[in-house]
Chain A
Amino acid sequence: MQDTKQSGCMSRRKALKVLGTAGAVGALAQPAMAAEQVKAMDPVAEFFQSHFRDMTTEEKLETVARFERKYSKKFEKDVKVSAKDAIPGVKFVYMLDIGRCIGCKKCVYGCVEENNQSRPSDNSSQIQYIRVVKQEGDEPLDLDKADHYYEDDMVPQRPGTYIPIQCQQCDHPPCAQACPVQATWKDKGDGVVQIDYNWCIGCRFCMAACPYQARRFNWGEPHLPADDMNPDTHYLGNRPRMKGVVEKCHFCMQRTREGLYPACHEVCPTGVRKFGNILDPNSEVRQVMDRYKVFRLKEDLGTEPSFFYYSSTK
């Protein structure tokens, strides 16, 4: 009796095994079906995906492929989503010469085009990562008196100082400390403060914590026309965002992790922007640091920004 029972038990297990194997074989035998099933499960998989930092390499690749499918369908073009890690031995630093900045705001709009920000429409905000402020006259720098909405048609209008401000990529980022779900964190390699948009809960604590007003919130569904969408994206960088998440400058990681300059650097007509690896003694940022007196904004807060300002004219 006992034997029979045991054998029965075994046979049930065997039967399950056989069924499972048959299922797997069936799935392999019909790859097209499987791909469609996987596609159909994409929204579910996106809902249940884990934090980007907790993912294994395979999970990252799978996630990135899923988003490529999603965006390619939505924007009707071949969208690439990268998950490239920081290049080892590199720490990004930005240098900006405020003595020569002419305040043309080309960096602002170059950034918008590169990073797929929301364009203004009736139901969506205009999102810009870079704020260019103008201080009238020759007085010492005082950000409280600087005007974000200056209306100079032809620039530069001297005397006047123009100061572009974007995410300062702090070494002690208050935004990352404020985030209750650790959706934003500083990369230990190149030092970019990045966001997993799918993990962000939209509480905006980071925006309150940031002393540089560098973070932007998607109050509505972002308005991004398919024609204007930049298909070269990074998962933590410029992939299209959704309603209710925070975003900010990430030093164009989809470009800089490939060795290119950020879009604001590329588009600047004056050459006041310097970008590079501060650990490389031959880099231009290192030359600036050696030769000029550099300063950072709100240094007394101890945020240790990676964004430096200097003036080569005074």
Chain B
Amino acid sequence: MVRTSVMFLLVLLFAVAPMASAEEITYRDREIDPLTEECLDCHDGMTNTERRTLEDMHDEKVLKHGDGRIWCHDCHNADNGNMLLSTDERPVTWEKSDELCGKCHARIQEDFVLGIHTKWLGGWDKPKVSYQCVGCHNPHDPKFAQIKAEPVPLKNSGLRPNRFKKKEHKGESNAGH
């Protein structure tokens, strides 16, 4: 439950990742729908690789990534349904999804590996914990939605009780912090 809510928060957000050091890094995986966890249950040697509009299965997937230029099997491994497809056509697991994202986003993948493009969890002097790419970015619809901003700071609060209460802040300059 906690994990779900944390994930939900992070899915709204940015990226994730590790570091080019010898230290151990723990990657957290994206929460995967248990129904789709075992892709092999259906996709065992009967995958239709033809590019088409999905109608019967997976039609709930909104594929907005790359304005429709990207097709399922650009990322998902057709030969092994439980795996993804890396840059050099190797099967990769979900925990290493950065190896396939780097296919197009090479510079960002480099940042991810160096530990720059990520949100670090834990502590600066604690074991390193990070999400993988898909922990924060929805790979099918990667654009982040806008989020609600926190309140604007008050002007001159506490200086003189009630004096500024009824005034509108709009249109004033930003002078006088």
A residues with CB within 8 A of B: 87, 100, 102-106, 108-109, 118, 120-126, 128, 131, 146-157, 213, 219-220, 256, 258-261, 265, 268-272, 274-277, 282-284, 287-288, 291-292, 312
Question: What residues on B are CB-neighbors of A312 within 8 Å?
Answer: 111, 116-117
B158 adjacent to A259 (CB under 8 Å): no
- In the bound complex, CA of A272 to CA of B20 (Å): 18
- In the bound complex, CA of A122 to CA of B161 (Å): 5
B119 adjacent to A268 (CB under 8 Å): yes
- Which residue of A has the minimal Cβ distance to B119? A271
Looking at chain B, what size class is its interface with the partner chain? 35 or more
Distance to closest chain B CB from A118 (angstroms): 8
- Which residue of A has the minimal Cβ distance to B10? A269
A105 adjacent to B149 (CB under 8 Å): yes
B154 at the interface (CB under 8 A from A): yes
Q: A126-B157, A259-B126, A271-B117 are in contact. List 20 more A-B contacts (CB 8 A).
A: A104-B148, A106-B150, A120-B157, A123-B161, A131-B177, A147-B174, A148-B174, A149-B152, A149-B153, A156-B146, A213-B177, A220-B158, A260-B126, A261-B123, A269-B9, A269-B10, A269-B119, A271-B16, A274-B120, A288-B116
A270 adjacent to B13 (CB under 8 Å): yes
B152 adjacent to A151 (CB under 8 Å): yes
Question: What residues on A are CB-neighbors of B15 within 8 Å?
Answer: 271
Given A123-B161, A287-B114, check contact A260 B149 (CB 8 Å).
no
- In the bound complex, CA of A219 to CA of B156 (Å): 11
Question: Can you spell out 15 A-B residue pairs with CB atoms less than 8 angstroms apart?
Answer: A105-B150, A108-B153, A147-B174, A148-B177, A149-B155, A150-B152, A154-B146, A154-B149, A219-B158, A269-B10, A269-B119, A274-B120, A275-B124, A292-B116, A312-B116
Closest CB pairs A-B (n = 4): A271-B119, A259-B125, A125-B158, A282-B21
Distance to closest chain A CB from B65 (angstroms): 19
B residues with CB within 8 A of A: 9-10, 12-16, 19-23, 111, 114-120, 122-126, 136, 146-155, 157-159, 161-162, 169-170, 172, 174, 177
Question: What residues on B are CB-neighbors of A272 within 8 Å?
Answer: 14
- Which residue of B has the minimal Cβ distance to A257? B125
- In the bound complex, CA of A53 to CA of B16 (Å): 41
A149 adjacent to B174 (CB under 8 Å): yes
- In the bound complex, CA of A297 to CA of B116 (Å): 21
Partner of A122, one of B10, B117, B162: B162
A104 adjacent to B149 (CB under 8 Å): yes
Partner of A108, one of B146, B150, B158: B150
- In the bound complex, CA of A277 to CA of B13 (Å): 25
A287 adjacent to B115 (CB under 8 Å): yes
Distance to closest chain B CB from A252 (angstroms): 11
Distance to closest chain A CB from B122 (angstroms): 8
- In the bound complex, CA of A126 to CA of B111 (Å): 38
- In the bound complex, CA of A105 to CA of B159 (Å): 23
- In the bound complex, CA of A176 to CA of B9 (Å): 40
